Amino acid sequence: MASTGGLSRRRGAGGAATEDGGIGSTQSSSAPLSAGSRRNTDSKVASDPRDLQMEDENKTQPKLTLMEEVLLLGLKDKQGYLSFWNDNISYTLRGCILMELAFRNRIAMVKDPNRRKYPLADRYIEAISEKLTGEVLLDEALKMISSTQEKMSVGQWIDLMSGETWNVMKIGFQLKQVRERLAKGLVDKGVLRTEKRNFLIFDMATHPVTDSAVKEEVVKRACTTLISRSTGSSPTLAEKNSPIQYQQLRTVAMVCAAYAANVLENALMYLNHEMRERAFNKVEELLGDYSEYPFASNASKDEIVGRDLQMEIVAAVLNVFTKMDSIL
């Protein structure tokens, strides 16, 4: 939808403002416009500065969101569905939504000096920008957070979006069909396709992998991070040169979320036993380092300058993941 400013600029070429504020119509000239003047008129195209800002922002955002990367790791490539016994991924995906909004500078911790008296997961968050991201789930969550008068914490928002509440007044905060909507988003991006499979007594939509290169890149990034012998998480050369904002920290968040969602093993299945053990030890180390704020690791300090309140949310979500029953 064009902005008011853009609409005014387009009208300005065809009408002049009168002294009383009205728009007067320009009288037609008896002489026809020359070809040159017609070309000059046609070349004036109104543009919305917000569109340019969105284009600039998109250049610093990855093709896939955190939620999509975690879901992709959990999907069986050919069968196109998640394990029926995975009870953790739904809750983890809600946490990934908050981290993704923080990475996109849409939400942050409430700037209150007294917040440090409380555990990370109990600190209140707020929307700092209502600009839509273009991702349906992210925008739905952002609208809920920005329109809610009552301040709520990271832990509360993850619970509410997961439907983990006895308060009937807040049941409307639940985000429904998150996995299916993420899969359809990946279909739109050309990563998955949709098929129908029969499971004895019912039919179910499945989403096999179409673009295997995209999933292989996610798997490679996870493995490279976890089998590195360096302490903490030192950025690779690709991460240092990447135009993506928070690229290294995003990778850390992705592997930790995959671990919490019980899908990380799918990325490590091609490693030998010793390498897998090293990878699991490394992800536990990363989860410990990045589930507190300031981060225990200094590897990401250059990425987060001036973004403390946003990155505090990332640490809070990872802190929630450490308390999930499957990890303890």
DSSP 110-133: ---GGGGGS-GGGSEEEES-----
Reported as a single tens digit per residue, the pLDDT across 111-120 is 999 999 999 9
Q: Which residue has the higher pLDDT, 72 or 326?
A: 72
Q: What is the rounded distance in angstroms from the CA atom of residue 288 to the CA atom of residue 315?
A: 10
Q: Would you say residue 219 has pLDDT above 70?
A: yes
Q: Would you say residue 33 has pLDDT above 70?
A: no
User: Cβ contacts of residue 150 below 8 Å, gap of 6+?
Assistant: none
CATH number at residue 106: 1.10.3630.10
23 DSSP assignment: E
Q: Does residue 260 form part of some domain?
A: yes
Is 152 strand, coil or helix? strand
Q: Does residue 157 form part of some domain?
A: yes
Give the largest Cα separation in the chain, rounded. Answer: 87
Q: Would you say residue 27 has pLDDT above 70?
A: no
Confidence of residue 204 (pLDDT cuts 50, 70, 90): confident
Q: Which residue has the higher pLDDT, 83 or 240?
A: 83
3-7, 75-79, 126-130, 150-154: least confident range: 3-7
> How many other β-carbons are positioned within 10 Å of the β-carbon of residue 310?
22
Q: What is the rounded distance in angstroms from the CA atom of residue 100 to the CA atom of residue 110?
A: 17
Angle 298-69-303 from CA coordinates, rounded to 5°: 25
State the angle between helix axes of 66-74 and 247-260 in degrees (0 to 180), rounded to the nearest 10. Answer: 40
Q: Does residue 82 form part of some domain?
A: yes
Segments in the chain forming alpha helices (H): 4-12, 35-42, 49-59, 66-74, 89-103, 136-147, 154-162, 178-188, 212-226, 237-240, 247-260, 264-267, 273-290, 308-322
How many separate domains does the chain show? 1
33-42, 153-162, 187-196: least confident range: 33-42
Q: Does residue 142 form part of some domain?
A: yes
Confidence of residue 189 (pLDDT cuts 50, 70, 90): very high
Q: Does residue 7 form part of some domain?
A: no
The predicted model gives 49-73 an average pLDDT of 80
Q: What is the rounded distance in angstroms from the CA atom of residue 204 to the CA atom of residue 327?
A: 30
As given in the structure block, the two tokens for residue 24 are 């007067």
Asked whether 125 and 96 are in contact (CB, 8 A), the reply is no
The predicted model gives 243-263 an average pLDDT of 95
User: Cβ contacts of residue 259 below 8 Å, gap of 6+?
Assistant: 280, 283, 284, 287, 321, 327
Q: Does residue 13 form part of some domain?
A: no
Instruction: For tokens 């969550």, name the residue.
Output: 141
Predicted confidence at residue 30, as pLDDT, reads: 44
Instruction: For tokens 């509360």, name the residue.
Output: 156
Distance of CA 6 to the CA centre of its chain: 30
Q: What is the rounded distance in angstroms from the CA atom of residue 103 to the CA atom of residue 310?
A: 7
Q: Does residue 10 form part of some domain?
A: no
Predicted confidence at residue 197, as pLDDT, reads: 83
Full residue range of the structural domain in which residue 295 is found: 72-322
Q: What is the rounded distance in angstroms from the CA atom of residue 253 to the CA atom of residue 287?
A: 9
Is the peptide bond prior to 294 cis by the omega test (within 30 degrees of 0)?
yes
Q: Would you say residue 29 has pLDDT above 50?
A: no
Of all residues in the chain, what percent carry a pLDDT higher than 70?
Answer: 77
- pTM of the entire structure? 0.81
Residue 125: beta bridge partners?
Answer: 109, 152
Q: What is the rounded distance in angstroms from the CA atom of residue 42 to the CA atom of residue 40?
A: 6
Q: Does residue 278 form part of some domain?
A: yes
As given in the structure block, the two tokens for residue 213 are 């290169």
As given in the structure block, the two tokens for residue 296 are 């225990």
